[in-house]
Structure 1
Amino acid sequence: MTRVRQERAEITRQAILDGAATAFDLCGFDGTSLSDVVKYAGVTKGALYFHFPSKEALARALMDEHFQVSEHVPAISNPGLQTVIDLTHQMAHGLRTNVRIRAGIRLVIEFGAFTNPDPTPYDTWIATCRDCLTPAQEQGDIHSTLDVRALSTLLVGAFTGIQVTSHVRTRREDLHTRVTDLWSFLLPTIVPPQRITRFHPTGTARPASPPPTD
């Protein structure tokens, strides 16, 4: 019985996160109420409060999920520049197909805006990029004179701006193309000419993007 209750509790928790993601994706943090979450999740307010004490807790859970795309990086035997290229395309794919990732990045941007800004999510992704680009530089794949932390900060800022612009202009239909453009222009600047053909600005082993979900 205990296992059954745990399984039911987890199903409810996931339904709440799905409902919250739908609400946050549509209306943002300030425009979403817990009544909206309950409506989209199909649960009671009691069930919601059992799992999440506040709207802020729900938002934090979704923002944490936003960065799960990079959680397996430490397990990669030889992380490098292509790893970062692929991560940006994986994030683009998630933004086009996964409402929880879309909600997470919207919340990251809102929480990182001018009112009570929180740099933690950005710092986390910058650190992930740096951890991949540092060995790439040591192997000669990135010019030795470049500041890898500055490059990582630039990449995170550039991707954030690109995905917002893509969302506004095309509902992110052109996001993979815009990310490819980013790398096509950037790679000749940061990679020694003799190594440029090793890297694929379109990403590698990226799943095909189905039409975006609502």
Structure 2
Amino acid sequence: LRTTVLLTLSISIVLSTSRIVYLLYLIILGIYFFKKLPKIKFILVILVMGLVVSVFLIIGKDIFYKFKNSIEGNSPRIMLWTNSIEVVRASDSYFLGIGIGDYYADKKDPYFAEGYGELTFGEYGYNPHSQPLEFFITNGILGVVILLVAMYFFLLKIKSQNSFAQLIFISVVSFSLTECIFNRQYGVQLYSVLLPLIMMNNFSKHTHEKT
């Protein structure tokens, strides 16, 4: 089961094209191999990972330019996150949000360009690139509270799971901070399939100790 989960996670991460998830995944793999492998094997694995990443960036030029823009400070995410607050402020619907129907039907997304109309009407149909912020826009403070309550119950359960499950949980949550995961097929799979799987007894600390 663990191998299946790891393969599914790896495929989902590659298809997500999310920079933060790529970085987190590499860090998690590095930590995992550091704990499990002897020093020489660990160094060899890191070298292989570096080679694979280099080839991946050369082949996937779009991903390379995404990282390049982030380093140069040209990423539009900061504008998207800032304008998400402005969308709610302009609609004066802090508690309940503007509603999912209005959000999609009227294209009240947080992206706008100067001279292209009102602040609350997006020209390009971009989402906020943050699941908590999308909940805030569509469902207001109430939606954010519901999301936090759901995460709280996940946290209660994940404390009793092994480090592998905890690292996957951290990856999915971190992914949701910089992406609207429910707007992506692979994001929905991460949340609805992988999270319940890692909460099973197969991934509990007690089971791990027995094995």
TM-score (norm 2): 0.26
